[in-house]
Amino acid sequence: MNTNTKSDGGSSRARAMLLAAGRGFVLAVVSLPLAVLCLTLTAVSIALIPLGIGLVTTPWVLAGVRAFADRRRVLAAEWGGVRIPSAYRPIPEGANPWTRTFALLRDPATWRDLRWLPVDMTAGFVTALLPTILVFYPLEGFALAAGLWRVMTGGKYGEYGPYWYGFVPVSGQVSALGAGVLGAAVLFAAYRYAPSAFQMHFRLTRAVLTPTQAELAERVRVLTETRRDAVDTSAAELRRIERDLHDGAQARLVAMGMDLGTIEMLLDKDPRAARQLLAQARRSSVDALTELRDLVRGIHPPVLAERGLGDAVRALALRLPVATEVTVDLAGGRADAPVESAAYFAVSEVLTNAVKHSGAERIWVDLHHADGCLRVSVTDNGKGGAVVGAGSGLAGIERRLGTFDGVLAVSSPAGGPTMVTMEIPCALS
């Protein structure tokens, strides 16, 4: 039983050794040219920014660098059991090239990726290839011991001089056997340490790609500010609801109660006046019910809770006086209720702004989920000129999305069209 256990453990370690050697070879051979390509294209693209060409190419190149770094994060987790956190700031797809380029260049994670590329080309290449060397280098020592030394040293005359295998000068059969012994020692080291040596590559990658404490602190500061804005917004919303109830439905209900009291007194004395007051009370009840429904819809639309974000946005579009086309692709399920609510009211505010200020004849809404983000774009063919500024509705939307670590981008040149893109990181259930 113990013999079988030892045999299984030995074969498992041998498989781990060979797997580390093969993966290390593939990683080194594939990653080196890709790292060189990414670094070269990035340098050229950033240099072309003053000419305007780089504004178009830089977002694409940096997106490729991010994809390359993210792929290494995946391999680190799958092959090395090393988790490398990712802290990229989301960049909306609909942003104009200038906004996308400088948003990417302002992201500390971008420069962390660029610093990692030369490290991966040098120390990363060596640490990835080290398990392969440990596994296959002993084969040369064994070949020398088996007689290859005669070819490598030029036969019996030794015209080529000794052949160095590691620190062993091979010039005859005895020294060739020494090379074989060294090869066996290296193979034993590979058997024991090749998987750990391969893991060194991913630990090096983690050391370079992991966000610094300063970045994490800044992230916490931004999230704290957005949460504070959310609390202030919620408090203001509660005050608005209280005011609307006091000035609207509550006032109507009080007036209706007074009318009913008057009707009770006039019912025997003046039935005609009582009937008029009764009709007035009925109208007041209808108006109060309408106001309450509008108030409830403003808090959380029933269709949003029952049917989800896609149908809620479609229902919102049907009430607009402008022709609106809605495209929804949320096949993966539904987002969390707070995320759906934030997205719904953000879309509602953007559509309201488009109807009031753009002079548009048509509006398009696209809503889909991809790459772990809920993306919503609202485009109109109006006059353009929309900006995100203090006091504007768009600034309020930006604060609302910031509560969920979301972002807002606006492309609205004079003369139109206007495209507002929103992104909220989330998963669909």
Q: What is the pLDDT of residues 215-229, one digit of tens each?
A: 666 666 666 665 665
d(CA 302, CA 206): 47
Q: Report which secondary-structure segment, H or E, holds 121.
A: helix 108-121
pLDDT interval class at 37 (50, 70, 90): very high
Residue entry with tokens 């030394």: 149
pLDDT of residue 346: 85
- Distance (Å, whole) CA 198 – CA 32: 16
The arithmetic mean of pLDDT across residues 357-371, rounded, is 85
d(CA 72, CA 78): 10
Does residue 90 sit in helix, strand or coil?
coil
For 238, counting Cβ atoms within 10 Å of its Cβ (0-12 exposed, 13-18 middle, 19+ buried), the class is exposed
The stretch 79-85 carries a mean pLDDT of 83
Question: Torsion-angle region of residue 386: left (phi > 0), alpha (psi -120 to 50) or beta?
Answer: beta
Mean pLDDT of the chain: 79
Q: Where are the beta strands (DSSP E) in 195-254?
A: none
Model confidence at 33, pLDDT cuts 50, 70, 90, reads very high
Comparing 195 with 287, which gets the higher pLDDT? Answer: 195
What distance in Å separates the CA atoms of residue 366 and residue 344, rounded to the nearest whole number? 13
Mean pLDDT of 102-111: 85
What percent of the chain shows pLDDT beyond 70?
80
Average pLDDT over residues 202-206: 90
Radius of gyration of the chain from Cα atoms?
Answer: 35
Query: Measured between alpha carbons, how far is 203 from 381 in angstroms, rounded to an integer?
Result: 51
Q: Which stretch of 73-77, 203-207, 277-281, 347-351 has the lowest confidence by average pLDDT?
A: 277-281
Mean pLDDT of 386-395: 68
- Please answer whether residues 237 and 141 qualify as being in contact, where contact means their C-beta atoms are separated by less than 8 angstroms: no
How much of the chain, in percent, has pLDDT values that exceed 90?
8
Kindly tell me if the per-residue pLDDT of 76 is higher than 60. Answer: yes
Interval 321-348 mean pLDDT? 84
Lowest-pLDDT range of 274-278, 306-310, 379-383: 274-278
User: Does pLDDT of 291 surpass 70?
Assistant: no
Q: Match 């991966």 to its residue by tokens.
A: 120
Residue 156 has what pLDDT? 47
Q: Is the pLDDT of residue 285 over 50?
A: yes
In the structure, what pLDDT confidence band is assigned to residue 243 with cuts at 50, 70 and 90? low
Cβ(13)–Cβ(110) under 8 Å? no
| Cα–Cα distances in angstroms (integers) from residue 269 to residues 82, 153, 162, 266, 279, in the given order | 89, 132, 131, 5, 18
* Residues 346, 352: Cα–Cα separation, whole Å: 10
